[in-house]
Amino acid sequence: MATFYFIKKNQFTDTLQISKQLLTDQKDLIHKAVGWMLKEVGKRNLDAETGFLKSHYKTMPRTMLRYAIEKFGKEERQKYLKGMI
């Protein structure tokens, strides 16, 4: 959430670095917040979001992944959820 200002300015580096650090966090609310921020990155730069996801979707908490891919098409969402990217 703290990086939303930077996301609006099309600066994604901090968001992606913090997201990577929080991949192993145990709290569901953190998973939701990180997933939401990744989705916001994708609204502005889909390549930045999908690049992050392709590197980490297999180890991401399910809630984080679901929030991050919420706006993707049904087929693409299913590929991520089934680990077929």
Domain-embedded: residue 54: yes
- Structural domain contains residue 9: no
pLDDT higher than 80, residue 17: yes
pLDDT score at 2: 86
pLDDT given at position 85: 85
pLDDT tens profile 18-57: 999 999 999 999 999 999 999 999 999 999 999 999 999 9
Instruction: Quickly list DSSP for the chain.
Output: -TTHHHHHTT--HHHHHHHHHGGG---HHHHHHHHHHHHHHHHH-HHHHHHHHHHHTTTS-HHHHHHHTTTS-HHHHHHHHTT--
Q: In this structure, is residue 60 part of a structural domain?
A: yes
Per the structure, how many domains does the chain have?
1
pTM of the model: 0.94
Band (3; pLDDT cuts 50, 70, 90)? very high
Residue ranges making up the domain that contains 80: 27-85
Q: Say if residue 74's pLDDT is above 90.
A: yes
